[in-house]
Structure formats: structure tokens, C-alpha cells
């Protein structure tokens, strides 16, 4: 095993004294088969939407393990016995770090800081994100709840299984904790997913074969597509979606999808708390801390946010370590501030434009590409034969 980064030994000794022997699996008391535990998720229908209860009580009902000051709380992963850190590290921005060494340092510091949930995707940065995350977690795999996504985008189960093997090689592991369908974006995606020979069969096979513990899907376009995916009847363990104050009043996943997940015991995973690329912060509408606190105060298993610099990670850890959720009143004030900007989706372009669409999704549907999208630029630059493993694209 590789050397632990500076400070890791002291961190884990402290946690061991506090919680005996700790790891994502031991904290959960869960086997690789992912069977439900006795303490099923308390139903939280309505969640923060009616504003009738303090957000803190809603988070506790969701299943947060209260930590001592300075630790990131652990939360139940849906109705399973697994627990994950309330803050997750996003994989797309990891591939935008200035170099591989920086990406590895970010992963090490995240683990050192108490992050257990790591997000990635087969198509992020044309494989660079998975490659760098795998190198960062080398020797630390048992301390991570590792998720990546498969990019069939309506294509069949055979392709999905090929992508899974590629992801496992890049991530340097023999199994995933969570494997999710990436980016459901079109109205026919649910039908393509559940059809005979579709990607649903791959998820079931991978779980049966022990290559993945849990399965789910993601998307950021339209909450109605998420509901259609849920209505296929497939036994999803998790669902990922954008959650922030702007979403609350614009094609809202918080209003439409989050209550359904909590009612069914499916783990909700929040993403894009800062709006994707931080535009609301750059324009002075919100601080990054306000947005992250809002997202983490919702009844979700974890909030995934991207990091390409150590300084950004440290900022996020300051919010997450010893986190206490905002009150219902504080949450509503943030929604009210966001509402005047939310109506045209200017801070949620992933819902209204193709700016955030990965090329695999659009190519699978034979749609034109956004030539300024980062993965499209990487595809083009890959033909230049520069001798570098990944083309350098400014993000």
C-alpha cells in the first residue's frame, strides 16, 4: 500500500479512538451484497418543502450520525445500512486540476478531512478524471465510498459492461460502491434504459456479479424525466440531481423529486450546489458557503461538489466539518433571494442549454455538439498527437 499523506495517521487514530475501528463499510456494518438493514430510512415526505419543521430535525430524521466538532457527519445511504459523508468530492472538476499530482493531493486531503463519498464518470475529461481519482485512492480504497457513472445514453447493456471494465481499470479497483446511469436528458431515455437489452440489464448483472454494491441514475435536465425513470419500476438505490436555492423555483428537483425519493427510501444525492461553475458566486449573488450550506441542509445522503484546487477543498471542509443544518427560516430566506434570478435559468444552464451536455449523450441521439464543451474540445485535441496522455484544455 502507498504511504498515507501527511496528517492521515493522526486523523485516523483520532477517529479510531472516537468510533473504534472506522471505515465506510464498518460504520455501515454492511456487506458487499447491499442488503437492507433493520433501521430503514425514516420517511421524510414533504421534507423542507412545507417549511413546517426545522431543517435540522429533517436531517436527523433522514439518518445523520452526529459527529464531534471538526468531523464531517455521516448520513444513511437510502434504506441500506451504508453511511456516507455529508460532503462528496465531484469527479469532473478533479480532472481540471493543474496536473496529476495536484489531483492526487486533493483526493488525499479529502480523505484526510473526512470525505468518504467520491463521484466520477466514465466520460469525464475523456477518462482523465477516473484515472486521476484511481491514482489518488491507491492504498486508500477501503476508506472511500466510490461511485462512477456509465455513459450508455440509451445504448445497450453490452456497451455498459465494457464501460464498467474500463472504469474499474482506471479506478484501480475490483468493485464500485455505486454505479449510476449518467445524465438522463431526453424524454425517451427511461424507455431506452428499461427496454430488453437496455442498460438496466447491465446494472442488475453487475450487482449480481459483485462488481457493484448499489446502482442509481443521474441527470440535471428535467425533474419529470427523473420521475419517469422512477416509474420504470427499476430498483434504484440512489438518484443524483442538482439542488441549490435556484432550483427550488425553476424546474425544481427539490420540489418534485426529492420528496418521492425520501418516501421510497432511495438515497438522494445532491449536485451542483454552487451552480456548476460558480457563476452565482462570481456575480456576487451568493457566497459559496451559503450555497453549500443550503444544499447540505436538505434531506440528502450527500452533497457532491467539484474541486480543482486545494484552496476550494479547504473552503468546503470548513463548512462540512462539524456541520449543523440551517433552520427552515434560513433556508427560505435563501430561496427568496434566489427567486428573482431563477426564472430564466441563468444560473442553471445545465437545465436549459447544451453547455453541460457531454458529447456521448448527444452523439448517441445523433444530435449536434457544443464545440465549446470541454469534452468536445478534448476529443478534437486528442488528434493532435502531442505526446501527452490527455490534451490540455482551459476550463
Domain positions in the chain are 53-377
Q: Please report the pLDDT score of residue 22 as a whole number.
A: 36
Q: Are 272 and 220 in contact (CB under 8 A)?
A: yes
Contacts of 247 (CB under 8 A, 6+ apart): 253, 254, 342, 348
- What residues pair up with 241 in beta bridges, in sequence order? 270
Q: Please report the pLDDT score of residue 64 as a whole number.
A: 66
Instruction: Please report, in tens digits, the pLDDT of each residue of the chain (395 residues total).
Output: 333 333 333 333 333 333 333 344 434 333 334 333 323 333 333 333 333 344 454 555 466 655 545 799 999 999 999 999 999 999 999 999 999 999 999 999 999 999 999 999 999 999 999 999 999 999 999 999 999 999 999 999 999 999 999 999 999 999 999 999 999 999 999 999 999 999 999 999 999 999 999 999 999 999 999 999 999 999 999 999 999 999 999 999 999 999 999 999 999 999 999 988 899 999 999 999 999 999 999 999 999 999 999 999 999 999 999 999 999 999 999 999 999 999 999 999 999 988 888 888 888 989 998 888 888 888 887 777 666 667 667 66
Question: How many Cβ atoms from other residues are within 10 Å of residue 178's Cβ?
Answer: 26
Q: Please report the pLDDT score of residue 389 as a whole number.
A: 66
Question: For residue 154, what are the CA distances in angstroms to 150, 167, 302, 384?
Answer: 11, 19, 27, 30
Strand 117-118 and strand 267-271: the pairing is unpaired
User: pTM of the entire structure?
Assistant: 0.83
Evaluated on CA atoms 141, 98, 357, 292, the torsion sign reads: positive
Q: Please report the pLDDT score of residue 354 as a whole number.
A: 87
Question: For residue 295, what are the CA distances in angstroms to 58, 196, 274, 323, 365?
Answer: 13, 37, 9, 12, 32
Q: Please report the pLDDT score of residue 357 as a whole number.
A: 85
Q: Please report the pLDDT score of residue 378 as a whole number.
A: 85
Among 255, 259, 262, 216, residue whose Cα is nearest residue 76: 262
Q: Please report the pLDDT score of residue 58 as a whole number.
A: 55
User: What's the N-to-C CA distance of the chain in angstroms?
Assistant: 33
Q: Please report the pLDDT score of residue 379 as a whole number.
A: 82
Architecture of domain 53-377 in this structure:
Alpha-Beta Barrel (3.20)
How far out from the chain centre does Cα 211 lie? 19
Question: How many Cβ atoms from other residues are within 10 Å of residue 236's Cβ?
Answer: 22
Amino acid at each position: 500500500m502507498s504511504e498515507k499523506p501527511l496528517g492521515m495517521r493522526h486523523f485516523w487514530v483520532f477517529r479510531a479512538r472516537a468510533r473504534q475501528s472506522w471505515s465506510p463499510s464498518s460504520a455501515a456494518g454492511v456487506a458487499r451484497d447491499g442488503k437492507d438493514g433493520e433501521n430503514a430510512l425514516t420517511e421524510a415526505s414533504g421534507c423542507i418543502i412545507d417549511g413546517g419543521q426545522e431543517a435540522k430535525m429533517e436531517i436527523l430524521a433522514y439518518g445523520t450520525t452526529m459527529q464531534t466538532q471538526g468531523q464531517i457527519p455521516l448520513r444513511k445511504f437510502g434504506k441500506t445500512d451504508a453511511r456516507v459523508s455529508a460532503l462528496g468530492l465531484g469527479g469532473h472538476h478533479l480532472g481540471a486540476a493543474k496536473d496529476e499530482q495536484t489531483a492526487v493531493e486533493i483526493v488525499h486531503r479529502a480523505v484526510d478531512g473526512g470525505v468518504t463519498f467520491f463521484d466520477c464518470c466514465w466520460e469525464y475529461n475523456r477518462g482523465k478524471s477516473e484515472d486521476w481519482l484511481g491514482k489518488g485512492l491507491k492504498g486508500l480504497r477501503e476508506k472511500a465510498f466510490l461511485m462512477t457513472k456509465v455513459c450508455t445514453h440509451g445504448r445497450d447493456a453490452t456497451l455498459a459492461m465494457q464501460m464498467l471494465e474500463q472504469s474499474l481499470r482506471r479506478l484501480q479497483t475490483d468493485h464500485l460502491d455505486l454505479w449510476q446511469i449518467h445524465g438522463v436528458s431526453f424524454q425517451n431515455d427511461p424507455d431506452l434504459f428499461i427496454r430488453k437489452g437496455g442498460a438496466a440489464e447491465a446494472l442488475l448483472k453487475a450487482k449480481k456479479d459483485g462488481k457493484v454494491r448499489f446502482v442509481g441514475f443521474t441527470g440535471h435536465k428535467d425533474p419529470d424525466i427523473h420521475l419517469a425513470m422512477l416509474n420504470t419500476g427499476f430498483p434504484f438505490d440512489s438518484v443524483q440531481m442538482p439542488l441549490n436555492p435556484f432550483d427550488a423555483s425553476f424546474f425544481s428537483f427539490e420540489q418534485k423529486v426529492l420528496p418521492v425519493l425520501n418516501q421510497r427510501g432511495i438515497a438522494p444525492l445532491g449536485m451542483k450546489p454552487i451552480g456548476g461553475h460558480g457563476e452565482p458566486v462570481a456575480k456576487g449573488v451568493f457566497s459559496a458557503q451559503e450555497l453549500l450550506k443550503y444544499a447540505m441542509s436538505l434531506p440528502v445522503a450527500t452533497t457532491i461538489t467539484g474541486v480543482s484546487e486545494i484552496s476550494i477543498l479547504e473552503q468546503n471542509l470548513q463548512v462540512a466539518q462539524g456541520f449543523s443544518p440551517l433552520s427552515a427560516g434560513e433556508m427560505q430566506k435563501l430561496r427568496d433571494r434566489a427567486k428573482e434570478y431563477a426564472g430564466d435559468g441563468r444560473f442553471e444552464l445545465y437545465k436549459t442549454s447544451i453547455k453541460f451536455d457531454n458529447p456521448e449523450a448527444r452523439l448517441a441521439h445523433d444530435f449536434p455538439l457544443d464545440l465549446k464543451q470541454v469534452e468536445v474540445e478534448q476529443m478534437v485535441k486528442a488528434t493532435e498527437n502531442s505526446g501527452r496522455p490527455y490534451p490540455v484544455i482551459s476550463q
